[in-house]
Each structure stands twice: as C-alpha cells, then as structure tokens.
Amino acid sequence: MATQALFLDDPFLSEAEASVLDVNDRGGIILDQTIFYATSGGQPGDVGTLTTGNGVSIEIGATIYGADKSEIIHVPAIQDRLPAAGDRVNLRLDWQRRHRHMRMHTALHLLCSIVPFPVTGGSIGETESRLDFDIEDAGAIDKAALNEQLNALIAAGHPIQSRWITDDELTANPDLVRTMSVKPPIGTGKVRLIAIGGDEEIDLQPCGGTHVRNTSEIRPVVVSKIEKKGRQNRRIRVRLAEQP
Ligand SMILES: [Zn+2]
C-alpha cells in the first residue's frame, strides 16, 4: 500500500486530510497520503496529531518508512483508540519542530557547498545538526571563516527550488552526488534534485528531505564545533543561533 508523500512537493503543508489504508499489527497507521516526513537521510520523522471524524485525537510520536519505502507508517505515542481502515482523518504537524528541521537541513546543504570534501554522514536535530566530512588535512578547515561564509550565504537570501530528473539523468551526472554514505534514492524512476541559488547555483544535489524556500528563512547559525572522528574524518556541528 503506497502513501503519497505530500511533503515532497509542498513542505509547507502543516495540516491535511487523509484516509486510513491500514493499521498494522503493531498499531502503525498507514494513510493514502501524508504531510508527516518519515525518518530518513539523517532527518528525524515528524510528530503531531491525527484526529478522526469522531473527534478522537491520536498523538503521533514517530513517523517511519515501511520495509519497501513505499508506505509511511505513523506510530502512535499511545496505542489507544486506533482508527480503522477507511476512516477519514485530519493531520496536524508539530510545525515548530518540523520548521526547525527544515531550517537546519537547508543549512547543512549550504555547509556542504562551502566545505569541498566528501560527506560521509550527517544528522539533523531541532537546534543542532552535524555533517561528517572525509578531510585528510584538518588544517584546511577554519571554524571562524566557515561561520562567516555560512552566515553570509544565509543572509544573501538565495532561493531554494526542487525539480525531478530521471534515474538515467542522475546516472549520467554522478558529480551530483555529494553524500557517500547515503545512496541516492534511485529505483523509482525519478529523483528529486534540490537547487539552491537559482542561476548562481550554490548547491545542487539529490535529496528527499524538507527545506525552506529561501536561505534567509534559516536565520543566523553558529558553527559550534569541529571534531576529529577517526583518522581523516571531521565532524562539523552547526546550531541555530537563537535557541528556543
Ligand atoms: Zn536536503
């Protein structure tokens, strides 16, 4: 059973209607469509509430992909009064949390664009995130300079757009893939590209995450730490300047 991922085309939907396709044996709720991002690519899944037509409110504590990634499973915080297949439900995200993920996620794209080394991993949090780079010469990275460059890109107000290309187009342009640890989402026939900077092209890469519309929406960030992780792995931590 496939779930249509509404967040791919409109990450700004914080509320929507959907139909329950199935409730699995662990109480996970599968819908025909959803605004809830499912954990992947270092970005945590969304939390929020699902309300049935009878006014029963179900708190969703996690959102994950099913085994074949075609279905998205909404995991209730408490398995009480679950809906049934066929029920219509209203979906509402914890938007504040999700918008912080979008700001942090977009900031990591910018970080990736100014650190000219392969990415080996990463993780997004609500107020702090990190990217790991394969850097042989650690002296090549200066925290103060990085901080300045990153905030300059944010303040410049570059637009962020998405577009779809075919798997074949991606295979023909392997340079588009910056993240070595995460395989690009090939197999469904098309891949979504995220472009930052319009004609200026600051960053362009395949990505299934959620992003803000303009870099200025990220607001100021702080490059908080550069850590050594293994012989030539460096972990760069970035946090939102204004903490909740
Ligand atoms: Zn992304």
CA-CA distance, 102 to 99, in Å (whole number)?
Answer: 5
Q: Note the pLDDT of residue 168.
A: 85
Backbone phi, psi, residue 27, to 5°: 85, 5
State the residue for tokens 């409730």: 23
- Distance from residue 153's CA to the centre of ligand 1 (Å): 16
Bigger pLDDT: 97 vs 140: 97
79-99: average pLDDT: 95
pLDDT surpassing 50 at residue 64: yes
Can you tell me which residue has the tokens 């392969």? 118
Question: What is the pLDDT, as a whole number, of residue 1?
Answer: 77
CB 227 within 8 A of CB 219: no
Q: Residues whose CB is under 5 A from ligand 1 (ion)? A: 207, 209
- Could you tell me the distance, in angstroms and rounded to a whole number, from the CA of residue 106 to the centre of ligand 1? 6
User: Which is higher by pLDDT, 220 or 79?
Assistant: 220
The per-residue pLDDT of the chain, averaged, comes to 91
**Given this model, what pLDDT does residue 180 score?**
47
| Ligand 1 midpoint to CA 108 (Å) | 8
More confident residue, 97 or 139: 97
Q: What is the pLDDT of residue 177?
A: 65
What is the percent of the chain where pLDDT is above 70?
A: 94
- Higher-confidence residue of 171 and 48: namely 48
> In the structure encoding, which two tokens stand for residue 136, read together?
């042989």
Cα of 158 to ligand 1 centre, how many Å? 15
Residue 54 CA to ligand 1 centre (angstroms): 37
What is the rounded CA–CA span in Å between residue 212 and residue 194? 11
**Centroid of ligand 1 to alpha carbon of 154 (angstroms):** 15
**pTM strictly above 0.75:** yes
| C-alpha of residue 163 to centroid of ligand 1, in Å | 12
Out of 51-60, 119-128, 166-175, 220-229, least confident range: 166-175
**156 CA → ligand 1 middle, Å:** 19
What per-residue confidence (pLDDT) applies to 198?
Answer: 80
Q: What is the pLDDT of residue 186?
A: 57
CA of 56 to the centre of ligand 1 (A): 34
Q: How far away, in angstroms, is 210 Cα from ligand 1 center?
A: 6
Please write the tens of the pLDDT for every residue from 189-210: 788 889 999 888 898 888 899 9
Instruction: Please give the distance, rounded to the nearest whole angstrom, from the Cα atom of residue 137 to the centre of ligand 1.
Output: 26
